[in-house]
Amino acid sequence: MNLEHLISQIQSLDGSLKHEANKAVNRLLTIRNWLIGYYIVEYEQKGEDKARYGADLLNILSASLDIKGLSVTNLKLNRLFYITYPQIRQTVSDEFGNTSFIAEIAPDTLENNTMKIRQTVSDEFGNTSIEPIKLPFALSYEAQLSEKIINKLSFSHITLLLPINNPLKRAFYAIEAIKGTWSVRELKRQLNSLLFERSSISKKPELLLQSLDEKAEKLPQVSFIKDIYTFEFLGLPAKDAVEESDLESALLDHIQQFLLEMGHGFCLEARQKRILIGDEYFFIDLVFYHRVLKCHILVDLKVEEFNHNNAGQLNTYINYYKKEVQLAGDNAPVGILMVTNKNEALVEYATAGMDEKLFVRQYLLELPDKKEIEAFIKNELRTL
């Protein structure tokens, strides 16, 4: 054995075992979330004091549990996970040797629970047209998928599958995501592009899927461990789940310092600020509070050319802060979008929804000049 072979063996061993460790963490997180949903449903069905708490149960649970990541929204997702995939019971029982984690559940009980509760859950998610799952139909398509869903998909993948009411459609996307090793973003893209419906009307759906597979964004081996739910499960800092390029990270370092020194009133509140909108996490690159303007300043950096999705995303952040964060006496938040393309830079201020032009003029007087920021970014790009 030569030195090169030894190095190759160690690298291969490290990569393989890291991948197995990632899969193990993902599997246990997914099983935990299913079990939490199972416990909640069992309590709602059989709890001695269930009537006492009623609709407030999940709020009480979230406030009482000192467990990171178990927000009301996530508890709802866990409950919906159990209701959507009751057949995972066998996989969970096999995993833990049928211990006290889960009691034996008869198939008819599973079906009754599913049909009884799913309408309530759908109301909470704003879907009034939901149809109860017929367990035998669901089992025929999904029971054999249970093990693969737990092993091959992150919980973020699963949360995209849960709102799909048609078991066949849900199974289709699960199978294609597993076969194609799709990233979460790719699965979302295909859901939005109505791949299931397009495949149904295609004369040769296999050709459609084959061409899709060649273009699809694949799942990196380490991606499970980068999943936000996994970070919460392991108690790791959420910001570590946000993968930044070296260039983007370095630019943010310098922009942060530039605004603090030149912005006259900027106070840094957070970097990679995580917010939850619906059941999806977003990260705002930089969040400041401006002492003079008495408002939040949200900075979003994109190392790419400008597109309308960038502006729309920043507007979403602004509207979120107006509704969820802004306090009495605060002015409306303002966003700064910074877009880079090689040595070019574009800076736009987002002031959507501000009715009074006076505030807009005041913002523009107090904030750094756009040309000044653009020149700074161009210089940084050349240096970096």
Same domain, 308 and 176: no
Residue 237 lies in a domain: no
CA 234/CA 228 separation, integer angstroms? 10
How much is the pLDDT for 248?
A: 79
Same structural domain, 174 and 210? yes
| pLDDT band at 75; cut points 50, 70, 90 | very high
Lowest mean pLDDT among 153-167, 197-211, 272-286: 197-211
Shared-domain flag, residues 189 and 257? no
**Which letter does DSSP use for residue 182 in this model?**
B
* pLDDT at 289 (0 to 100): 94
Same domain, 119 and 221: yes
Average pLDDT for 75-89: 90
pLDDT for the residue 242:
65
pLDDT at 148 over 90: no
Does residue 221 have a pLDDT over 70? no
Q: 87 vs 365, which has greater pLDDT?
A: 87
- CATH for 264: 3.40.1350
pLDDT at 343 over 70: no
Q: Identify whether residues 126 and 215 lie together within a single domain.
A: yes
302 with 157, same domain: the answer is no
Q: Answer yes or no: are the C-beta atoms of 288 and 269 closer than 8 Å.
A: yes
Whether residue 311 is found in the same domain as residue 341: yes
Residue 256 domain flag? yes
**Residue 162 domain-assigned?**
yes
In a domain, 280, yes or no: yes
Same-domain check for residues 264 and 168: no
**What is the C-alpha separation between 92 and 80, in angstroms, rounded?**
17
Residue 365 located in a structural domain:
yes
Give the pLDDT confidence score for residue 241 in this predicted structure: 63
Last residue of a domain, one of 187, 205, 229: 229
pLDDT higher for 307 or 182?
182
Q: What is the mean pLDDT of residues 20-41?
A: 89
pLDDT for res 369: 82
Question: Would the pTM of this model clear 0.75, i.e. be above it?
Answer: no
pLDDT in tens, 159-174: 999 999 888 889 889 9
pLDDT category of residue 239 using cuts at 50, 70 and 90: low
Structural domain containing residue 348: 242-383
Q: Which residue has the higher pLDDT, 141 or 62?
A: 62
Q: Last residue of a domain, which of 229, 261, 296?
A: 229
Looking at the fold, whether 188 and 254 belong to one and the same domain comes out as no
Between 117 and 279, the more confident residue is 279
Mean of per-residue pLDDT scores for the chain: 79
Q: Are residues 206 and 332 in the same domain?
A: no
Residue 48 above 50 pLDDT?
A: yes
Q: Which two tokens stand for residue 158?
A: 């699963």
Q: Do 60 and 106 fall into the same domain?
A: yes
Of residues 215 and 178, the one with the higher pLDDT is: 178
Residue in this structure with the two tokens 């139909």, named with its chain if needed? 137
249 and 218 in a common domain: no
From residue 332, give the alpha-carbon distance in Å to each of 294, 318, 321, 329, 369.
9, 8, 8, 10, 19
Q: For residue 99, is pLDDT > 70? A: no
Q: How confident is the model over 8-31, as a mean pLDDT?
A: 85
**Domain count along the chain:** 2
Crossing angle of helices 107-124/72-84, nearest 10°? 140
Per-residue model confidence (pLDDT) at position 4: 86
Is 234 within the bounds of a domain? no
Treating both helix axes as pointing N-terminal to C-terminal, what angle do 370-383 and 246-262 enclose, rounded to 10 degrees? 140
**By percentage, how much of the chain surpasses pLDDT 90?**
16
Cα distances (Å, whole numbers) of residue 11 to 8, 160, 375: 5, 34, 44
Q: Which of 196, 229, 262 is the last residue of a domain?
A: 229
Exposure string of 103-141, with b = 16+ CB inside 10 Å and e = fewer, is eeeeeeebbebbeebbeebbeebeeeeeeebebeebbeb
